[in-house]
């Protein structure tokens, strides 16, 4: 291995490098060494989603942390944003999440938060990587009473539940709302239904019986068909879908129409601006967000700033420039006034609160923008070479851009979490851009597949 960290932590197929118990132990040791404080004992929180490989990786991390003199606080299956909060709440020196997010169960990942609850900057990840790959970490070994201990935090779930409920206006309840929620058999399978029920909603729950291998399997925001059907059959007001670690959320209207992250960002940004709470009258999103969102926000006096794909890059721009709201089309929405990372449950509560405050259905709230036709195709590849570095691919991209003539966009990029190249084209005619995207995808498959 010449590197460990990708765009969102360390990722891979469980029990193959780098997603092995051996490397997890080294990551635990390196993290403990880096986050060691001046007071002597230091603590790291570990949480996970519901994948069967989480047990193995949790043990490896715990062993590594204790071997470096750190104490471990184990909180069990909880959403990724819960770990960001608990790292701060428990006054820990770092937080670690074991999750493959939206990927199938055989994949897994390890992500780190600093004591401030923010994901680590590239420089710290590089420092951890160097300690491991150089072998330097192997020679740093405390002994005797300096070895650490592990403890289980029994009230972690309750702490997070109260935290997210406090993001709603005081005394606001969800009485009268009929909600279907799909927890993707993932990390939010307990907390999201509990929060909604405690706030008074009538709740039907899907995807809340994890068995270690059914996470994201035909359910959750990656596979919303069951949620759409259930919402329509029950006559529910709204459907809510998480991914495996619940840092993202998508919605379904009463008629079964999907509401993606772009529409969620838009309706929430408009409300924040009305309340005078949108810092800089600016929304931070990525290059993947639809042109229709940018145009709709602009017409309401809101600027949209774009970043590279990845919620960490959205967050970095927000912190750097003093903005408090942003997100991704995929459903990562960051309310920086409430949490330090994308939080699917907090986002769900903000949308439900907007429905309650305005008395309007979700279908009406989302009707603020005209979506520009968009096609996205994932191409599985073997080579990690950037597609625009292949001359014939770059020539085809330029040909399409010339044909679109400023009426659309072409984006081709490597996924940061999977062996995929993502092709996205926007334009005025759905059939035309579909044909363009398919042709470009075939070319990329031929060159890099």
CATH 3.40.120.10 given to domain 259-365: yes
Q: Return the CATH number of 374-448, one of 3.30.70.1400, 3.30.310.50, 3.20.20.10, 3.30.450.20.
A: 3.30.310.50
| Cis omega (within 30 of 0) for bond into 134 | no
Q: What is the pLDDT of residue 141?
A: 85
Q: Encode pLDDT of 265-295 as tens digits.
A: 999 999 999 999 999 999 999 999 999 999 9
Please state, in angstroms and rounded to a whole number, the distance separating the CA atoms of residues 99 and 10: 10
pLDDT-derived band at 354, boundaries 50, 70, 90: very high
Which CA distances in Å does 378 have to 140, 247, 375, 415, 445?
43, 22, 10, 9, 10
Check if 63 is active-site: no
More confident residue, 41 or 116: 116
Q: What is the pLDDT of residue 436?
A: 94
Q: Return the CATH number of 160-254, one of 3.40.50.1970, 3.90.1170.50, 2.60.120.260, 3.40.120.10.
A: 3.40.120.10
Give the range with max mean pLDDT: 7-16, 326-335, 388-397, 411-420: 326-335
Query: What does the DSSP 8-state code read for residue 429?
Result: -
Helices (H), 199-342: 225-234, 261-274, 291-299, 311-321
**Which of 101, 285, 289, 330 is the catalytic position?**
101
Please state, in angstroms and rounded to a whole number, the distance separating the CA atoms of residues 248 and 184: 11
Host H or E run for residue 73: strand 70-77
pLDDT-derived band at 382, boundaries 50, 70, 90: confident
Proportion of the chain above pLDDT 90, given as a percent: 86
Fold match, 5-154 / 259-365: yes
- Bridge partners of 425, per DSSP, are 375, 410
Q: What is the pLDDT of residue 386?
A: 83
How open is the CA angle 143-146-152, to the nearest 5 degrees?
120
Q: Is the pLDDT of residue 40 over 80?
A: no
Please state, in angstroms and rounded to a whole number, the distance separating the CA atoms of residues 426 and 406: 10
Proportion of the chain above pLDDT 70, given as a percent: 98
Please state, in angstroms and rounded to a whole number, the distance separating the CA atoms of residues 362 and 352: 9
Q: What is the mean pLDDT of residues 219-243?
A: 98
Q: What is the mean pLDDT of residues 162-180?
A: 95
Q: Return the CATH number of 5-154, one of 3.40.50.720, 3.30.70.270, 3.40.120.10, 3.30.420.40.
A: 3.40.120.10
Q: What is the mean pLDDT of residues 86-92?
A: 96
- Give me the sign of the Cα torsion angle 306, 310, 316, 318: positive
Q: What is the pLDDT of residue 327?
A: 98
Q: Is the pLDDT of residue 39 over 60?
A: no
Q: How far is Cα of residue 270 from the mean position of the Cα atoms in its chain?
A: 23
Instruction: Choose the weakest-confidence range: 172-181, 323-332, 372-381.
Output: 372-381
The residues spanned by each domain of the chain are 5-154, 160-254, 259-365, 374-448
How open is the CA angle 221-107-336, to the nearest 5 degrees?
50
Closest CA to 440 of 406, 372, 403, 392: 392
First to last CA, the chain: 22
Which CA distances in Å does 308 have to 7, 285, 287?
10, 9, 6
pLDDT-derived band at 166, boundaries 50, 70, 90: very high
pLDDT-derived band at 24, boundaries 50, 70, 90: very high
Instruction: Choose the weakest-confidence range: 100-104, 235-239, 329-333, 380-384.
Output: 380-384
Q: Is the entire prediction scored with pTM above 0.85?
A: yes
- Torsion-angle region of residue 322: left (phi > 0), alpha (psi -120 to 50) or beta? left
Instruction: Classify each residue of 277-296 as buried b or exposed e, where b means 16 or more C-beta atoms within 10 Å of its C-beta.
Output: ebeeebbbbbebbbbbbbeb
Q: What is the pLDDT of residue 310?
A: 87
Whether the Cβ atoms of residue 92 and residue 44 lie closer than 8 Å to each other? yes
Please state, in angstroms and rounded to a whole number, the distance separating the CA atoms of residues 381 and 104: 18
Which CA distances in Å does 13 have to 20, 33, 89, 106, 417?
9, 26, 32, 6, 11
How open is the CA angle 53-138-31, to the nearest 5 degrees?
55
Q: Encode pLDDT of 302-330 as tens digits.
A: 999 999 988 989 999 999 999 999 999 99
Instruction: Choose the weakest-confidence range: 105-119, 120-134, 304-318, 403-417.
Output: 403-417
Q: Is the pLDDT of residue 38 over 60?
A: no
Please state, in angstroms and rounded to a whole number, the distance separating the CA atoms of residues 289 and 257: 18
Closest CA to 9 of 78, 83, 109, 80: 109
Q: What is the pLDDT of residue 37?
A: 63
Q: What is the pLDDT of residue 385?
A: 78
């Amino acid at each position: 291995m010449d590197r460990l960290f990708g765009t969102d932590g360390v990722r891979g197929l469980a029990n193959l490098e780098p997603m092995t118990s051996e490397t997890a132990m080294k990551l635990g040791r390196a993290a403990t060494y880096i986050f060691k404080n001046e007071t002597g004992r230091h603590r790291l929180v570990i949480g996970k989603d519901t994948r069967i490989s989480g047990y193995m990786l949790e043990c490896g991390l715990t062993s590594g942390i204790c071997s470096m003199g750190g104490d471990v606080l184990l909180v069990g299956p909880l959403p990724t944003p819960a770990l960001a909060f608990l790292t701060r709440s428990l006054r820990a020196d770092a937080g670690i999440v074991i999750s493959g997010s939206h990927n199938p169960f055989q994949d897994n990942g390890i992500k780190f938060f600093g004591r401030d609850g923010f994901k680590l900057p590239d420089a710290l990840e590089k420092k951890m990587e160097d300690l491991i790959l150089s072998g330097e970490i192997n020679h740093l070994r405390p002994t005797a009473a300096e070895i650490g201990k592990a403890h289980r935090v029994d009230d972690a779930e309750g702490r997070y539940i109260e935290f997210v409920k406090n993001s709603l206006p005081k005394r606001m309840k969800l009485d009268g709302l009929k909600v279907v929620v799909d927890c993707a058999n993932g990390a939010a399978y307990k907390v999201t239904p509990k929060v909604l029920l405690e706030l008074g909603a009538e709740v039907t729950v899907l995807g809340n019986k994890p068995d270690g291998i059914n996470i994201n399997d035909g359910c959750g925001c990656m596979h919303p068909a069951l949620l759409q059907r259930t919402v329509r059959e029950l006559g529910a007001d709204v459907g809510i879908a998480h991914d495996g670690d619940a840092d993202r959320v998508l919605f379904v209207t009463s008629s079964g129409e999907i509401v993606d992250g772009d529409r969620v960002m838009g309706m929430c940004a408009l409300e924040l601006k009305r309340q005078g709470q949108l810092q800089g009258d600016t929304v931070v999103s990525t290059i993947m967000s639809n042109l229709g969102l940018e145009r709709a926000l602009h017409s309401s006096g809101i600027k949209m700033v774009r970043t590279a794909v990845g919620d960490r890059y959205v967050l970095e721009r927000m912190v750097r420039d003093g903005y408090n709201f942003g997100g991704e089309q995929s459903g990562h929405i960051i309310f920086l006034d409430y949490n330090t990372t994308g939080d699917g449950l907090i986002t769900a509560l903000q949308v439900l609160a907007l429905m309650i405050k305005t008395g309007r259905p979700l279908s009406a709230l989302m009707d603020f923008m005209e979506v520009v036709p968009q096609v996205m195709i994932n191409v599985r590849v073997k080579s990690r070479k950037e597609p625009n570095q292949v001359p014939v691919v770059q020539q085809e991209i330029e040909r399409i851009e010339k044909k679109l003539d400023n009426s659309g966009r072409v984006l081709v990029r490597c996924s940061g979490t999977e062996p995929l190249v993502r092709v996205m084209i926007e334009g005025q005619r759905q059939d035309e851009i579909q044909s363009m995207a398919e042709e470009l995808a075939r070319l990329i498959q031929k060159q890099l597949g």
